Structure 1
Amino acid sequence: MIDAYTLLPQPQAVRYDDGFFTPRLHKMVRSNCGSLAGRFVQTMGNESLQLRELPHQTGERLFIHLGEAVSCPMEPPLQTEGYAIVVTPQYARLVAQDVRGLANGVATWHQMVRQSASRMPCVEITDYPALANRGLMLDLSRGRVYTLDYLKDLVVLMASLKLNVLQLYIEHTFAFSFLDEVHAGSDPITAAEIVELDAWCRDHQVELQPNLQSFGHCNRLLTTPEYRPLRESDLYWTLSPADEGTYTLLKRMYDEYLPLFSSALLNIDSDETYDLGSGRSAGLMAEMGDGHLYLQHLLRLRELAAAQGKRLMVFGDVILHHPELIAKVPDDIVFLDWIYDPLDEYKTPSVFEKAGKPFWVCPGTGAWNTLFPRQEGAVRNITGLTLEGIRHGASGMLLCDWGDHGNYGMPAMSYYAYAVAAATSWSGEAVDIAQLPQAFGIALGEPELATLHPLLEGIHRLPALWSKNRSQCVIALFDEPLMGRTLTAPLPPPDLEPLRPLPAGVQGVLDAESHHLMRPIFQLPESTLAGIEQIV
């Protein structure tokens, strides 16, 4: 028996009353929302419970009621997705204005039952989200393409944490009907799987938003012989806006991909266009300027997406380098303000607020380029950036779970960050770090996680292991052993690395046309291997 509930996210208002409610003494659940009432019954683990479905009248609040049939004058909060829970000695009742709100109430109820299913403290809970959009972006393009079964389980987890947006980051790992060579060997997600996942997400009150990289980060596409002519430069990184074929290709991709989604939004990413204007579009760059060239591409994609009934989302890093152009971006485009570092201050949300543009903030899980998550830094980043976004009028939070260079870590290593992001974006307050491990274990139904994750956090306090964006354990185990990076020795300036040629006598694994200078792959000739063997 408990005296108070530990809940994640923490509700906006909780008031305890005297007495306890004993669920096993009651056999009837009444509801005017049968699908969610069925899930409510499942949380009880009582096969003798009966469900009585009542008609839902227009304008009537949604409810689930367990216990004595009494008059319940309680009104739910008016906020979208909000709910109220009242537990008295006679009954337990969940009320909401909309289906999403009632689903959130069932999620909270499930956590309450996990803690005290037989004798529940009487309580009144009023709850609603601080941010309307609370999402997760999952990397499907860096070596790990998740199965449909895993993605469905993930959606259930997200719904239990009150996250309501999912994006799958796609560079080359969707099975376009005409890009077989591009996605060959990647075990791509298929159109049928997207349609099935979209329906599953809707059933769990999660919006599956399409995400398709549409400018930079197109190495796999641009090293395919048929599409090499569309490259901006020999970095094989950015689609060239100087070639009309770029827009012909993107139109064909959008026409096939976007109708699979019920969402009205499309994230085109379009971040880190390192070589824009350095190659085929150099003339346009000289004529228009760096920022205007990027803006022109953005407006072209806006037209292509609008033809499929979608509005754009775009990462804000490039446009932030040209703040004078923000005002020229149409108001129906949502900026995604990504910052993954654990900073003391986040200045960019105020830039979008002053410009009057819609924007979401995008913190990171800190789980890429590592075996163990950079958990302490992630908590600081998620908390600081999300709260700063709320203060400056952000309409959403999208947590980025990247898999740079191969998705080394186990997927579940990111779940703690998911919980922090869910709790912060829902409550609008910093999480109680002391209570978080226990609340996390209860929310996931795995109490032992309360012990595990503080230990994981401690790993990155060990000497020579910490880095804000990489981890020595990954470098030691997975990087090129002779010439690869290390965190404990001097590194060349990052801006010079794309220019570094291959060492003399070392040949690229890929042919010269497809070699990507930003991430060289070395092949040691037999003579070098023989020399190494002799030294050893």
Structure 2
Amino acid sequence: MKKICLIPKPQVYIQEAGYFTGRAAVQRESLPGELLAPLASVWPEIVGIEGNIKFTEKREMQKEEYVMEIAEEGMEISYGSPAGAFYAMMTLRQIVLSCKGKIECCRIEDHPGLSDRAVMIDISRGKVPSVEGLKASIDLFASLKINQLQLYVEGFSFAYPSFQKLWEKRAKDYLTPAEIKELDAYCAERFIELVPNQNCLGHMTAWLETEDFGRLAENPGGLQIKGTVLPPTTMDPSNPESLELIERMLDDLLPCYCSHMFNADLDETFDLGYGKNKERAEKEGVVSIYLDYVKQLCEKVRERGHKMMMWGDVLSKEEDAAGKLPKDIIVLDWGYETEHPVRKRAERLSDTGLEFYLCPGTNSWCSFTGITDNMMKCIENAVSAAYDYNARGLMITDWGDFGHLQYSLFSLPGFLYGAAGAWNRELVKEEELAEALSRYVFMDETGTFGQICLDAGRYNRREEFLFPCRTLAFMTLQTGCVSREQFDISIKNMVDSMRFFVEPCVYLPCEEAYAGRREMEERAILEYLDSLTEQAEKSLPACRDGELLKEEMKNGLAMTRAATRTRAFCYGLERGTGLEAEIEALCKKHRELWPKRNKTDGLEDSLRGFTSLLAQIKEKTETTES
């Protein structure tokens, strides 16, 4: 019999003689009470009148550890806590789905490789998921043995009670305190800690654009980099009012959560030292100013009974910066390019004695349908470094840059792959990942939808060159319908600007790839996308949202197709016949799909790139015809 594909892989799987051929079931009375709620939403079919699963709690076992024995006459699960029992049931669910009534006898001994296995979802770039949409994601994460979730907050995606007049005027969508509390309880029932997250220094543009707090900007005029002007984004850390604002925000946010951790973010403070603190930065250095603020904020977080987390990108600018942090801070080191120096960063953090996570991403943002190769390699690198340098955890991030246009479908491969590595250092192979997606998530009767999802994130292989964390098709939404010469200038500026944002090991390979770029091969890209669309049409995902997933897949591919055709049209490589109708159709479909998982007010903002392209194409066509 073919070896069962399980994700995450158990630490020990011993096959034994014989088969269990009955229907796996557990009586409600014999089930640990804490499992009733999560099983009701994740695997309701397992609870029946008759049962053949015995549960035994063993206090000597670790909290999330379990041992499962499957014999011909029945099954026995030993566990260290209800979480361990639940994880055993999630492994059993996959076995049942794989074996279809004939389960090989086995012994599984299992426990997590990393203590913290986290996911972070961006709810602040135009897309705020509905509570029901988030609950569906939480069920999936629980089934993958994820035990921490963060919802990234910047701007007004949380309805701060103390600032109601501000967010009522500006916020399109947001989560309320009551909704956060509801989600917090839902997570807890599924053995997931919902950790509060709020950016506390950079990424403050929405606040700095208001009359009330514009005076707190480090650089009121913004920062110009290679022809692009970044709006004011960082607060002035030397102004006591900046920290006072954050304290008021914390007092609104933190009581909504049971967790005693808090992610202050503190990343990408690009304009720090270029404005009000320029003179101070020239004397002390930007990192010194940054660390001074971090220490003040950490004390305020500690006073509120929380342990602070923060991103590590600014700390990486100086070799000894992390070592100057308070020892109770958890550093989160993110990196989304295959060349990201994750091992160097992990070793440095390990040497400081600080607790840290390594944080690769789903790479679904700025791509329409994901960037599969980059995602898998980044996760592989992070998993290896996390175990080698004793990281506390792994966190898979899912961002929503430029309107969060991508469907959550295209983040699923990254979530599964990251969850696999966070639990067990032995990552699954690509064919196992595709099989797990098809069987356990999509329940696709054809067994193809998982591989289609992975392949959808590979159209960039056929573009002129590989750009880190984004595709050329997606960049069309940023540049607009411009000539080849103008597009090349924009791309060259983006490539050159990387020297400001990232290390040489990341920007030098990109510069080399750009220098060796090929000609655009529109036909090859379109044929690839059309082939995937045809395959998706034939798939049969039978999960609860199977038809919705199928429509999201096809529309994500349609977005990629239309953006690619737009670029070719602007280059003069095609006449653009039917292009307007193609964009109008995908916009119409997007408007139908968006509300099924998300709050609605951010919808039109997400489509702004396409609606702008449509207007430009019409104008260009009319000018040409006249």
- TM-score per shorter chain, which class? 0.7 to 0.9
Gaps of 5+ in 1: 52-64, 499-522, 524-528
What residue in structure 1 maps to residue 18 of structure 2?
19
2:381 maps to 384
Q: Name the residue aligned to 2:303.
A: 307
Quick one: structure 1 residues 244 and 345, their matched pair in 2 at CA, closer, same or farther if it must change by over 3 Å? closer
- Partner SS, residue 336 of structure 1: strand
Q: Which moved more, 1:453-462 or 1:85-94?
A: 453-462
C-alpha separation between the residues in 2 aligned to 1:50 and 1:377? 47
Q: Map 1:63-462 to 2 at 5 A.
A: 66=53, 78-172=61-155, 173-177=157-161, 178-182=163-167, 184-233=170-219, 234-235=221-222, 236-343=232-339, 346=342, 347-447=344-444, 448=447, 449-462=449-462
Q: Which amino acid letter does the alignment assign opposite residue 96 of structure 1?
A: Y
Q: How far apart are residue 117 of structure 1 and its match?
A: 4.7
* SS in structure 1 of the partner of residue 105 of structure 2: strand
- Separation of aligned partners in 2, 1:121 and 1:368: 41
* TM norm structure 1: 0.84
Give RMSD over aligned pairs.
3.0
Q: Which moved more, 1:489-498 or 1:458-467?
A: 489-498
Distance 1:47 1:309, change over 3 A: closer
Pair 1:494 & 2:477 matched: no
Are the structure 2 counterparts of residues 169 and 456 from structure 1 closer, same or farther at C-alpha, using a change threshold of 3 Å?
A: same
Deviates more, 1:257-266 or 1:74-83: 74-83
1:75 deviation in Å? 6.7
Query: Separation in 1 of the partners of 2:37 and 2:402?
Result: 43
Distance 1:179 1:224, change over 3 A: farther
**TM-superposed deviation, 1:480:** 2.9
Match of 1:45 in 2: 45
- Residues 426-435 or 330-339, more deviating: 426-435
Question: How far 1:25 moved relative to its partner?
Answer: 9.1
Structure-2 change in CA distance of 1:487 and 1:189 (3 Å): farther
Is the 8 Å Cα contact of residues 372 and 455 (structure 2) preserved in structure 1?
A: no
CA contact (8 A) 1:387 1:429 kept: no
Structure-1 separation of matches of 2:407 and 2:151: 17
Change (3 A) 1:487 1:414: farther
Note closer, same or farther for the CA distance 1:487–1:102 as it changes in structure 2 (3 Å cut).
Answer: farther
CA distance in 2 between partners of 1:487 and 1:101 (Å): 54
Quote how far apart the aligned CAs of 1:182 are: 4.3
* Cα distance change on mapping 1:303 and 1:123 into 2, 3 Å: same
CA distance in 1, matches of 2:164, 2:287: 31
Helix, strand or coil: the match of 2:476?
helix
Seen in structure 2, the aligned counterparts of structure 1 residues 83 and 175 have a Cα distance that, compared at 3 Å, is: same
* 1-structure distance, mates of 2:3, 2:336: 35
Moved more, 128-137 or 475-484: 475-484
Greater share of helix residues, 1 or 2?
2
Indicate if the aligned counterparts of 2:394 and 2:422 stay in contact, CA closer than 8 A: yes
- In the other structure, the counterpart of 2:5 is 6
Residue equivalent to 1:508: none
Q: Match for 1:334: what amino acid?
A: I
Q: Matched residues in 2 for 1:143 and 1:260: separation?
A: 22
Unaligned runs of 5+ in 2: 223-231, 502-611, 613-617
Question: Is the 2:38–2:139 Cα contact (8 Å) retained in structure 1?
Answer: no
**Hey, what does 1:55 align to over in structure 2?**
none
**Aligned residue type for 1:348:** R
1:85/1:30 CA distance change after superposition, 3 Å: farther
Distance 1:181 1:497, change over 3 A: farther
The change in CA–CA distance for 1:268 and 1:47 in structure 2 (over 3 A counts) is closer
Deviations 1:461-500 (A, max 9, x none): 22337422211222234643349974697522317999xx
AA in 1 matched with 2:331: F
Find the residue that maps to 2:321 and give its secondary structure: helix
**Other structure's SS at 2:320 match:** helix
For residues 99 and 3 of structure 1, what CA distance do their matches in structure 2 show?
31
Contact 1:465 1:473 (C-alpha < 8 Å) held by counterparts: no
Deviations 1:52-107 (A, max 9, x none): xxxxxxxxxxxxx627x9xx8x9798333111111101111122101211111111
Partners in 1 of 2:500 and 2:374 — Cα distance? Answer: 26
Instruction: Please report how far the alpha carbon of residue 405 of structure 1 lies from its aligned counterpart in structure 2 after TM superposition.
Output: 1.0
Inter-CA distance 179–455: structure 2 relative to 1 (3 Å threshold): same
Q: Give the deviation of 1:367 after TM superposition.
A: 0.7
Structure 1 residues 180 and 342, CA gap change in structure 2 (3 angstroms): farther
Q: How far apart are the structure 1 equivalents of 2:483 and 2:175?
A: 35
* TM-score normalised to structure 2 length: 0.72
Residue type matched to 1:91 in 2?
Answer: G
**Would the aligned equivalents of 1:77 and 1:126 in 2 still touch at CA under 8 Å?**
no
